[in-house]
């Protein structure tokens, strides 16, 4: 199953602001569907971001993160034209990835 992602990367000086939105259900395993059946856990476990191939963020998530998570981070030493890649893996082995080229602010 594919989950769309959006990314925006801009640089001001030598600091890039990266904003990412992942469309994902992030089910906790505690909610029930309209028929009363428990919806199984389905959440992102690992998020990794790279700047020109170098890891700048490696986050371990759990079911405590909200549906369709949005997160932002900054990268020092960046410049316009650099490449940012953000990828994730969930507890059902689904994967997602998105690339962006840093734009001048």
Residue in the structure block whose two tokens are 């971001």: 49
Instruction: Report the distance separating Cα 4 and Cα 82, nearest Å.
Output: 22
Confidence of residue 90 (pLDDT cuts 50, 70, 90): very high
| pLDDT surpasses 80 at 19 | yes
pLDDT at 105: 83
pLDDT digits (tens, 9 = 90+) for 43-84: 999 999 999 999 999 999 999 999 999 999 999 999 999 999
Model pLDDT for residues 21-43, shown as the tens digit of each residue: 999 999 999 999 999 999 999 99
Q: Residue 2 has what pLDDT? A: 80
Supply 41's token pair: 């856990």
pLDDT at 1 over 80: no
Q: Sign of dihedral through CA atoms 45, 51, 53, 55?
A: negative
């Amino acid at each position: 199953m594919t989950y769309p992602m959006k990314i925006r990367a801009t640089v001001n000086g030598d600091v890039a602001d990266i904003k990412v939105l992942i469309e994902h259900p992030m089910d906790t395993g505690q909610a029930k569907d309209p028929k009363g059946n428990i919806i199984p856990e389905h959440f992102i476990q690992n998020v990794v971001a790279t700047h020109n191939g170098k890891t700048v963020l490696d986050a371990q998530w759990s079911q405590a993160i909200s549906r369709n998570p949005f997160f932002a981070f900054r990268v020092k030493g960046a410049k316009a034209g650099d490449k940012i890649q953000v990828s994730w893996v969930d507890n059902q082995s689904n994967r997602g990835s998105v690339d962006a080229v840093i734009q001048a602010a």
